[in-house]
């Protein structure tokens, strides 16, 4: 697990810190496993490998903390609003990686209320030696990170478009001649990202 400074994240268009007092202080960011396609063959050593080209779901693990200033004022109704926010599938944008987003849904919101209760109790008793205000959110996501839609006007010469996602994506090229003159000599070469 990579350790970094705390950050907020946006899920389904809502900010974790601004609205709910939740910050993430680390996250799991490992490539998803490839689906193996191997078969045992009688009277042969090892297995026959058909080649793994498809990926399993990505698990995005966010280790989160409650902000004391927010949790002091929270009510049970606020917790229900958080549960509603986390209850559906949506886009996840990490503030430390604003040019990418993931598509996923929460897998384990059950422990959220227990950790809220511990954190609230610690604030009321003044106990600062505990880490019970920490909890983990596991999002089951599509395997790849997606980049934002890139729209770029074509200029004379070589045009290069930078796409920051990790998914293989289709490319749509729309050419409009708005000059009223004939256009000739256009060449389009599409290359995959290496």
Residues of the chain with pLDDT under 50: 1-2, 131
149-187: per-residue pLDDT in tens? 767 777 777 777 766 666 666 667 777 788 888 877 777
Enumerate the H helices of the chain as residue ranges: 16-20, 68-71, 76-86, 110-125
Residue 141 inside a domain? The answer is yes
Tell me how far CA of residue 24 lies from CA of 3, 78, 179, 182, 189, in angstroms: 10, 19, 51, 55, 42
The count of domains in the chain is: 1
For the domain that residue 83 is a member of, what is the CATH number? 2.40.30.200
Residue 67 inside a domain? The answer is yes
State the Cα–Cα distance between residues 174 and 153, nearest whole angstrom.
10
State the Cα–Cα distance between residues 108 and 28, nearest whole angstrom.
15
Residue 106 inside a domain? The answer is yes
State the Cα–Cα distance between residues 139 and 103, nearest whole angstrom.
9
Range of the domain at 116: 2-146
Residue 75 inside a domain? The answer is yes
Residue 187 inside a domain? The answer is no
Residue 139 inside a domain? The answer is yes
Residue 157 inside a domain? The answer is no
Q: Is the pTM of this model over 0.75?
A: no
Residue 90 inside a domain? The answer is yes
């Amino acid at each position: 697990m990579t350790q970094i400074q705390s950050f907020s994240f946006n899920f389904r268009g809502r900010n974790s810190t601004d609205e709910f007092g939740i910050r993430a202080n680390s996250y799991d960011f490992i490539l998803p496993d490839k689906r193996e396609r191997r078969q045992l063959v009688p009277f042969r050593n090892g297995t026959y490998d058909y080649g793994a080209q498809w990926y399993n779901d990505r698990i995005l693990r966010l280790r989160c903390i409650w902000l004391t200033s927010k949790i002091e004022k929270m009510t049970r109704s606020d917790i229900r609003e958080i549960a509603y926010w986390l209850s559906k599938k949506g886009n996840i944008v990490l503030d430390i990686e604003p040019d990418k987003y993931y598509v996923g849904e929460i897998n384990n919101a059950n422990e959220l209320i227990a950790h809220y209760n511990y954190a609230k109790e610690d604030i009321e008793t003044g106990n600062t030696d505990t880490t019970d205000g920490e909890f983990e959110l596991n999002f089951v996501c599509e395997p790849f990170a997606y980049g934002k839609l890139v729209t770029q006007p074509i200029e004379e010469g070589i045009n290069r478009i930078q796409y920051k996602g990790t998914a293989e994506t289709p490319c749509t090229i729309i050419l409009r001649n708005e000059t009223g003159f004939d256009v000739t000599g256009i060449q389009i070469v599409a290359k995959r990202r290496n």
